Amino acid sequence: MTCMASYRVVLRQSDEGFSVSCPGLPGCWSQGATEEEALENIRIAIREYVDAAEELARGEGSRVVEVRIA
């Protein structure tokens, strides 16, 4: 399934760079030396999180469908 989605993330600056988390996806976080690197890393983490969640949800009698929200 390929769809474009947007997620809100929380970006925090620290002495080591930036940490970033996605409150809508518990446990999904990343980091980077720069803000840009941290944001690119969270994009990858979100993609992997969603792919893993979909894989775990697949099973007999279930399927993945898209629901749009406003």
- Report yes or no on 41 lying in a domain: yes
Confidence (pTM): 0.81
- Report yes or no on 23 lying in a domain: no
12-58 residue pLDDT tens: 999 999 999 999 999 999 999 999 999 999 999 999 999 998 888 88
* Range of the structural domain that residue 41 is part of: 31-58
Cβ pair 29, 22 in contact under 8 A: yes
- Report yes or no on 54 lying in a domain: yes
Angle (CA) 57-60-63 rounded to 5° is 50
- Report yes or no on 52 lying in a domain: yes
Cβ pair 64, 58 in contact under 8 A: yes
- Report yes or no on 1 lying in a domain: no
Phi, psi of 30 (to 5 degrees): -160, -170
- Report yes or no on 17 lying in a domain: no
Per-residue pLDDT, 62:
82
What's the number of domains the chain is made of?
Answer: 1
CA distances from 47 to 2, 14, 16 (A): 11, 25, 24
Per-residue pLDDT, 1:
47
- Report yes or no on 51 lying in a domain: yes
Per-residue pLDDT, 3:
62
- Report yes or no on 44 lying in a domain: yes
